[in-house]
């Protein structure tokens, strides 16, 4: 990403944080774009411009970073209702449905999104897509015990399935101790049908289709910022 695009992503992150008010419980997404928002949020908290902010992090790494930055971090056990979540996405279709999970935090990200009054998504314009699956394989989080039969089942649904591995070549392990299958279906004509087929299979913990969850998508592009709403 060019320096000017980096600046636009920073502007988009700051625009999302402008929606945060003192006293809010804020969902802290995961990924490079969400990190920009968390850092800006921390600056406003440190400056006293926002007070009484409580963060609920979508990943253990983000929880650690938020604490390091001076943000009070709690849990859904203590705060089951989140006022506003700021997160990124890997792919966004014209209906503002999303594919998420490139960073491996899709389970917590979806739990927090569904607990949120508003889900604000920040992306650069390269993430916009005519159909989900055009640019990104669908991450599916599965229990290790059922990994192979689940991979075969998803392949039978029409996907090319690849087990995600870490830098050491071993299976990637999520914060919840599960594995991820990256499932390339190609452009999805009916994301809801794919979601239903996956949700009906034991051992599938969660998938990266975030359908009808985005309240607003802030897009950083060559022409500046755009705000998209459903």
> What pLDDT was estimated at residue 1?
46
Q: How far apart are CA 178 and CA 139, in angstroms?
A: 12
pLDDT digits (tens, 9 = 90+) for 155-190: 999 999 999 999 999 999 999 999 999 999 999 999
Q: Do 138-202 and 3-126+211-222 fall under one CATH topology?
A: no
Residues 66/27, Cβ–Cβ less than 8 Å? no
Q: With 50 as the cut, is the pLDDT of residue 194 above it?
A: yes
Q: What's the pLDDT tens digit per position in 1-20?
A: 455 778 888 999 999 999 99
As a whole number, mean pLDDT of residues 29-33 equals: 93
Q: What is the pTM of this model?
A: 0.95
- Sequence ranges of the domains in the chain: 3-126+211-222, 138-202
**Closest of 3, 24, 176 to residue 101, by C-alpha:** 176
Stated length of the chain: 230
**Which pairs from 151-159 meet CB under 8 Å and 24+ separation?**
151/181, 153/201, 154/181, 154/183, 154/198, 157/185, 157/194, 157/197, 157/198, 158/185, 159/183, 159/184, 159/185
* Selected residue with higher pLDDT from 106 and 222: 106
Give the residue numbers annotated as catalytic, written as ranges: 109
Tokens of 15: 């625009």
219, β-bridge pairs: 123, 226
Q: Model confidence at 129, in pLDDT bands (50, 70, 90)?
A: very high
User: What pLDDT was estimated at residue 3?
Assistant: 54
CATH 3.40.50.1360 for domain 3-126+211-222: yes
CATH 3.30.70.260 fits 138-202, yes or no: yes
Token pair 């059922």 in the structure block, residue: 146
User: What pLDDT is attached to residue 124?
Assistant: 92
Closest CA to 97 of 218, 219, 186, 215: 215
What is the per-residue pLDDT for 2? Answer: 56
């Amino acid at each position: 990403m060019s320096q000017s695009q980096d600046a636009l992503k920073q502007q988009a992150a700051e625009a999302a944080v402008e929606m945060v008010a003192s006293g809010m419980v804020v969902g802290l997404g995961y990924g490079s774009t969400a990190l920009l928002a968390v850092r800006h949020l921390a600056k406003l908290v440190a400056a006293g411009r926002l007070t009484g902010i409580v963060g609920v992090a979508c990943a253990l790494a983000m929880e650690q970073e938020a604490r390091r930055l001076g943000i009070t971090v709690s849990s859904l056990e203590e705060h089951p209702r989140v006022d506003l979540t700021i997160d990124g996405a890997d792919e966004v279709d014209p209906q503002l449905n999303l594919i998420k999970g490139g960073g491996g935090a899709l389970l917590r990200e979806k739990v927090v999104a569904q607990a949120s009054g508003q889900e604000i998504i920040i992306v650069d314009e390269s993430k916009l897509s005519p159909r989900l699956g055009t640019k990104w394989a669908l991450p599916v989080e599965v229990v290790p015990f059922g990994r192979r039969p689940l991979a075969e089942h998803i392949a039978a649904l029409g996907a090319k399935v690849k087990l995600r591995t870490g830098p050491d070549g071993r299976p990637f392990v999520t914060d919840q101790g599960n594995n991820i299958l990256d499932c390339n279906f190609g452009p999805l004509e009916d994301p809801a049908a794919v979601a239903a087929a996956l949700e009906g299979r034991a051992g599938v913990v969660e998938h990266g289709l975030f359908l009808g969850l985005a309240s607003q998508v802030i897009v950083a592009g060559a022409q500046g910022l755009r705000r998209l709403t459903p």
